[in-house]
Structure 1
């Protein structure tokens, strides 16, 4: 069990995804499907999260249109949306995904740095290498570059962006109305020339309020974990259960230490919650969303995951026995998760489809505020997480339930802040300013 002092608190982000993280959330009659291009919708989500004193709101991003059945294709560009959301909030952090494969360092440094100024130092950037050929073909690539090439580019990308933010000293600006605006000795070119980028600098923007907006990563592969351990200041993770979370936590913390870093680097697994006043009420909320799933499409997707036709299986019977992992020839990560869900939860086929539709391999907690807080506390105290990246299955109801019922229970236990005591995202996460 990890020993924590009394001052340590959970870190909690809201991961905003359309109408919610359940694939069928947009199909519910009361969903906000008509508001996905309405900035007031996203502002209201940020305000709810801020009412709960959450550390930040977070947008993932994609560069291509997804399934027309799922309704998960991307709408507003996240940095643009967060600029507006920063004006509708005062304290909460604002985190956007940035693709190191499709952006250039100067462009990213200017956009993210500008938002840090606009928000008064509340910005984080989640660096990804992107995944899909459909995205690549929107950015002058025939297909995605090889995995190793993407990560080599990502490392150089991060180093160059940080150098651009450091190209202005904090005290560079003089504003001498009878002399000069800034000290030229404190605004420096970076003269970067690498394998992927040529950038002279300096950035045409003074140093951001946080020095560096908070760098977040989600390393899963060996290269991803290595990059995260050397550069990330917070890490998003995927963990189905506590033992999986503990293994990842120990591995990353060990790599951070081996890299010679002493920063806390909070690890935040994704968390799907269904909260109700009773277990029956919580399960009813889950069932309501599951019943909105298009069954045929869901069965086709499951068939792809397990590499067999399941279209004629009984929806309300237990899932038929699947081959062991050692005999499976397809992608093993998701298949392994499916096997764990079946073994642990013993769902019917219909329940499995719903379980995969909301969060997939991420941890799911269903119950009362007290039982959800119990489990969050267990992960926190037993070395599985420093906090969580909330993935409400439906929005706004999922985050309203959490803020109104789970947060007060966490506060009662001394596990979560009752008021903001810092003004920057770095402050919320307990990180020093570089």
Structure 2
């Protein structure tokens, strides 16, 4: 029996996922808006045979509400601006051939028709390599950019997201695969009976259709989802091909893996229809001592006020500056932002008996994702153990700064995974679905 192979995403959280990573001597501090840096990283990722490039996105400057109220401390933070990810990926489609191209787009502050067209266009431009990371906006800063005084409640955001997905998936089925005839002799451009109006009428959307694009090269773009709360897992179980999640311990990751796969049957799906990729931040050294020294150097670059800002959106409205840094994490009121990420911080602080300073520095260094500090062999050991324990299907690799740590992981850890027979040595197909090993959804209107 063939060994199960890891799936790897290259999560480009630029200029670095570590809040002080941009200050590192090797970092390119403007990498988040430097398209030449994007191209360089995309080429490294494709040489490394990653399944996909992945871009995060928000529809606001992070912390804009606090800055609008006069908080000047955020001038220390780098992840404030970024290129619009779908446009950036469209550019990268022209310099890559096999790697998938996944962008985040919120269901809270978009409309289904525009978004369906945007990702279908990317799928056509890339010959079947597009993916949509479906999110409900966590950041309350976004509301004021769309005429709202308050961010919609968590439950409302997920109800809208469920319907949003249904509309987008329906629009992607507007045309059957062979609808376009291009018959010059008969003067028939398309088969009228293979074009379909969606006629959706729901609580949030009223959309007629059809989409003004043909069916895409991979049937429809891959759908990723990143929610780990109860509503997030329900949405993933019915809609997602990939799930990105934050998991720190193998047993907790395995429990999440089992629970999420267990929810698939209720939606007519089965294990294998959905791939789960926890985030992983690698710090690679030739020796363990060298890797630890790299980690310590990064941590020394981060002032306490910067670290504390990493918890601001999860604080439930508390001003954490009012609490002693060397005291415990105070009880946090429920947040209307990232509920699963808030719970992760609370649980970790309690389990490890962390002070407010310690949990803030942990969240600021990896946004709640697992940090692996060590040699290529050690990091490969840990990745292999999670795969073989059914705690994941692969990992989303997120680096502290760019490009050096990403190049080091790609050139040192991936060959070790290949030697063990748990990572590909060549792409399996031309489309993202083919490389991930996930099926093409049938068009709902086409005859079986």
Query: How many angstroms does 1:264 deviate by?
Result: 2.8
CA distance in 1, matches of 2:245, 2:163: 23
Matched residue SS, 1:174: strand
Distance 1:163 1:296, change over 3 A: closer
Query: How many angstroms does 1:44 deviate by?
Result: 1.1
- 1:35-62 deviations in whole A, cap 9, x for unaligned? 4322111111111111110000101101
Report the equivalent of 1:338. 349
Query: Of residues 238, 241, 244 in structure 1, which corresponds to 2:249?
Result: 241
Report the equivalent of 1:316. none
Report the equivalent of 1:77. 84
Q: Give the TM-score normalised by structure 1.
A: 0.90
For structure 2, the residue ranges without an aligned partner over 5 or more in a row are: 63-73, 335-341, 442-448
Matched residue SS, 1:17: coil
Report the equivalent of 2:25. 29
Query: How many angstroms does 1:255 deviate by?
Result: 0.5
CA contact (8 A) 2:17 2:367 kept: no
Query: Of residues 35, 47, 53 in structure 2, which corresponds to 1:51?
Result: 47
CA contact (8 A) 2:225 2:240 kept: yes
Report the equivalent of 1:390. 397
Report the equivalent of 1:156. 163
- 1:83-104 deviations in whole A, cap 9, x for unaligned? 0011111110000111111111
For structure 1, the residue ranges without an aligned partner over 5 or more in a row are: 314-318
Alignment of structure 1 residues 150-189 onto 2, 5 Å: 150-178=157-185, 179-189=187-197
CA contact (8 A) 1:133 1:142 kept: no
Task: Report whether the alignment pairs 1:223 with 2:231.
Answer: yes
CA distance in 1, matches of 2:118, 2:311: 39
Greater alpha carbon shift after TM alignment, 139-148 vs 374-383: 139-148
CA contact (8 A) 2:45 2:53 kept: yes
CA contact (8 A) 2:307 2:363 kept: no
CA contact (8 A) 1:97 1:127 kept: yes
Query: How many angstroms does 1:187 deviate by?
Result: 1.4
CA distance in 2, matches of 1:188, 1:33: 48
Report the equivalent of 1:292. 301
Query: Of residues 116, 127, 131 in structure 2, which corresponds to 1:120?
Result: 127
Task: Report whether the alignment pairs 1:201 with 2:209.
Answer: yes
Q: Give the TM-score normalised by structure 2.
A: 0.88
- 1:315-361 deviations in whole A, cap 9, x for unaligned? xxxx66x37xxx83545611222333557xxxx99876543322132
CA distance in 2, matches of 1:45, 1:221: 32
Distance 1:203 1:367, change over 3 A: same
The count of corresponding residues between Structure 1 and Structure 2 is: 417
Matched residue SS, 2:395: strand
Greater alpha carbon shift after TM alignment, 17-26 vs 77-86: 17-26
CA distance in 2, matches of 1:289, 1:214: 35
Query: Of residues 171, 174, 199 in structure 2, which corresponds to 1:191?
Result: 199
CA distance in 2, matches of 1:156, 1:35: 35
CA contact (8 A) 1:282 1:367 kept: yes
Matched residue SS, 1:130: coil
Query: Of residues 107, 112, 124 in structure 1, which corresponds to 2:114?
Result: 107
Distance 1:277 1:228, change over 3 A: same
Query: How many angstroms does 1:296 deviate by?
Result: 3.7
Greater alpha carbon shift after TM alignment, 198-207 vs 328-337: 328-337
CA contact (8 A) 1:337 1:361 kept: no
CA contact (8 A) 1:173 1:182 kept: yes
CA contact (8 A) 1:234 1:268 kept: yes
CA distance in 2, matches of 1:301, 1:154: 26
What is the aligned-residue RMSD (CA, Å)?
2.3
Distance 1:412 1:244, change over 3 A: same
Task: Report whether the alignment pairs 1:363 with 2:337.
Answer: no
